[in-house]
Amino acid sequence: MLNFRLDHLKLRNKLIVIYVICVFLPIVLTNVTFYHVTTLNVKKQKTADAEQAITLLQSELGALIDDAAGISYLYSIDHQLGDHLNIDHASYDRYVESLNGVSNLFNRAEKEYKTISSVTIISDNPTILTSSHIIKLEDDIREADWYRQIANYNNAFPHLYVTHERISVIQKLTDRRYAAYDNVVKIDLNQNYVEQIFDLSGFEGDIYLLDPSNEARYGRLASGRPSELIAADRKLHLDEIPKPDKAIILAKQYQSSRYLGGWKVYGVLDEANILYDVRQSGRFILWFAGINFFVPTIVILIFSRSIHTRIQAILKHMKSVRGNNFERVPYYQERDEVGQLAVEFNRMSARIENLINDVYVSEIQKKELELRQRQAQLHALHSQINPHFLFNALETIRMRSLMNGESQTAKTIQNMATIFRKSIIWKRSFVTIREELELIECFLEIQKYRFDSKLEFHIEVDQSVMDIEIPKMAFLPFVENASIHGIENIPGIGYITIQIAQEQDQIIFLISDNGSGIAQANIDELHRYIHEEDAMGDSIGMKNVMTRLKIYYGESFNFAIASAPNKGTRITLRLPITRTD
């Protein structure tokens, strides 16, 4: 079936199909596969680089915060600073003297830690005088958000406080339960240094610093600008963080720190940005595939035209041969296969023309002889059942039977005479189904007389087919075979059923019996006989009918038989309504 469909394609289309399947599609599939694999590898590598950048950023930011926490811890354990903050200073001189004792602590922090922007201690000791590092706890500070976060804490541990513009470490220096005053140190990180860490991180997406409740306190976009969605009066929840359609999310959480526990560095990477260069190469692949398709296709069309046009010319001359036009194909000494085909066609055309001129008359005479032989063969078959003298003899016997009072015998002889009379009267090859049925009924009545009560038959005919013509005695031999060879040899009552109907443009004749059946070997022999051209039967049996049907219809009739020993026989015969002349 596949070869049959391929044979319908023109040569030019076959060449294009071969190119598309064998060259173009493998190249496209290879490029697409390479592009896909490259995309996956680039995405994997970029993701690994981004994860490494996030990890490094987390580490550097954690180290920066740890430095501030270390300073706050040093302040909390410094006894001299603790005494300075918790005693009541009797005079200004006493306060200045005590402040000079702890000034080295502040100076050392400013010199050693460049990552620190400022260190401020807030105290509610009324004897404290405001200076560059120590200030009084005023009401505005009490209302500040960072102070309210640690106001209720008694433990002296650092706390991380992050806003959209600053990162600070806050720690209580004293426990109010054991000290007279509240003292808090607030260490602000150098924001320029923090921004430098984010800028040099190598992460190409948006970066957020999330608190343990998944609120974004600080955000740095891929463009280098701070996130406008985070402000002093507005926090950004994790679900509200903007994400592209295809986002790569990387989150690194701090685990082992009291003040950093639960905080995380959250990165949002746009897959389209990291794959931009690869997508640009994908466009190149498409352009390359288009050029790779159209250029060879044009070349194939040019070369195939050289073949296609000449083959079309040969085909045109081949078709003209059917009209006895033996014009030669123009030949310009081409050396390819098409040129050789043109040479051979011209030689064949000349030879056929000569043969027709030499043998035409003898061939016509031969065909006429074959036709007459077929007609003689057909008339010989018809004459097998045309004994005139038997009709006269049967008529004499019937009259004697009536004179002797044997009416049933006379009826049977009358049926036999009717059969013979039909064979004498019918001069034409085709009869109506009505006439064929009259013959069948006469034959079955004779068989009932012969078998007495052993035979029963039923005939069912569609009245619309009664006047349709069929070959003479096309059905009768099957009825004869069913009654004589089928019913005769069984012990019980034999039933014969005949059905005739029309199905589309065919006459369906169906006969079934409950007789002795036909052996499979005999059925195979009958099928072999149907396909033998020169076979000729000597009786009016089924082989004889098959011969006549082949003469009338050729291969346009259908015969089917289903039988088994002792299980009866079912024969279906399909004849076209329009007979062939």
- CATH code at position 469: 3.30.565.10
**From CA 30, how far away is CA 12, in angstroms rounded?**
26
Beta-bridge partners for 207: 220, 267
State the average pLDDT over residues 100-110.
75
In a domain, 301, yes or no: no
Q: What is the pLDDT of residue 393?
A: 52
Distance, first Cα to last Cα, the chain: 35
Compute the half-sphere exposure of residue 93: CA atoms within 13 Å on the CB side of its CA. Answer: 0
Q: What is the pLDDT of residue 536?
A: 47
CB-CB contact of 151 with 132 (8 Å): no
How far from chain centre, in Å, is Cα 453? 67
The DSSP secondary-structure symbol of 464 reads G
The domain boundary residue, chosen from 238, 272, 306: 272
The DSSP secondary-structure symbol of 511 reads E
In a domain, 333, yes or no: no
- 3-class state of residue 385 by DSSP: coil
In a domain, 218, yes or no: yes
Reported as a single tens digit per residue, the pLDDT across 532-564 is 655 444 444 677 788 778 878 878 888 899 888
Q: What is the pLDDT of residue 389?
A: 45
Torsion-angle region of residue 568: left (phi > 0), alpha (psi -120 to 50) or beta?
A: left
CATH number, residue 179: 3.30.450.20
- Residue 458 — pLDDT band, cuts 50, 70, 90? very high
pLDDT above 70 (res 266): yes
* Higher pLDDT among residues 134 and 347, named by residue: 134
**CB proximity list for 187: less than 8 A, separation 6 or greater:** 68, 71, 72, 116, 118, 119, 120, 168, 169, 170
Among 57, 47, 48, 43, smallest CA distance to 266 is for: 57
- Residue 580 — pLDDT band, cuts 50, 70, 90? very low
Residue with tokens 């010989």: 380
Using CA of residue 426, residue 429, residue 435, residue 440, what is the dihedral sign?
A: positive
The DSSP secondary-structure symbol of 201 reads S
In a domain, 341, yes or no: no
- Residue 67 — pLDDT band, cuts 50, 70, 90? confident
In a domain, 447, yes or no: yes
* Higher pLDDT among residues 469 and 578, named by residue: 469
Q: Which amino acid is at 243?
A: K
**From CA 20, how far away is CA 426, in angstroms rounded?**
69
**From CA 420, how far away is CA 439, in angstroms rounded?**
10
* Listed range (3-17, 236-250, 555-569) with the worst mean pLDDT: 3-17
- Residue 581 — pLDDT band, cuts 50, 70, 90? very low
SS3 content of the chain, % helix, strand, coil (to 5): 55, 20, 30
Q: What sections of 462-541 are H helices per DSSP? A: 476-481, 520-530
CB-CB contact of 476 with 439 (8 Å): yes
Q: What percent of the chain has pLDDT over 90?
A: 7
pLDDT above 50 (res 386): no
Q: What is the pLDDT of residue 502?
A: 92
pLDDT above 50 (res 24): yes
The domain boundary residue, chosen from 241, 272, 303: 272
State the average pLDDT over residues 418-423.
64
**CB proximity list for 51: less than 8 A, separation 6 or greater:** 250
Reported as a single tens digit per residue, the pLDDT across 340-366 is 677 777 777 777 777 777 766 566 666
**From CA 81, how far away is CA 24, in angstroms rounded?**
82
The domain boundary residue, chosen from 247, 272, 297: 272
486, 487, 509 from 560: Cα distances, Å: 17, 20, 11
Q: What is the pLDDT of residue 382?
A: 54
pLDDT above 60 (res 463): yes
Q: What is the pLDDT of residue 388?
A: 46
- Residue 192 — pLDDT band, cuts 50, 70, 90? confident
* Listed range (263-272, 302-311, 399-408) with the worst mean pLDDT: 399-408
State the average pLDDT over residues 177-187.
81
- H or E element: which one contains 319? helix 276-321
- Domain range for 563 is 443-576
In a domain, 327, yes or no: no
Provide the number of structural domains found in the chain: 2
- 3-class state of residue 575 by DSSP: strand
In a domain, 336, yes or no: no
In a domain, 436, yes or no: no
Q: What is the mean pLDDT of the chain?
A: 78
Most confident of 18-27, 56-65, 337-346, 494-503: 494-503
Supply the Cα-derived Rg of the chain in whole angstroms.
57
Most confident of 267-276, 323-332, 437-446, 459-468: 459-468
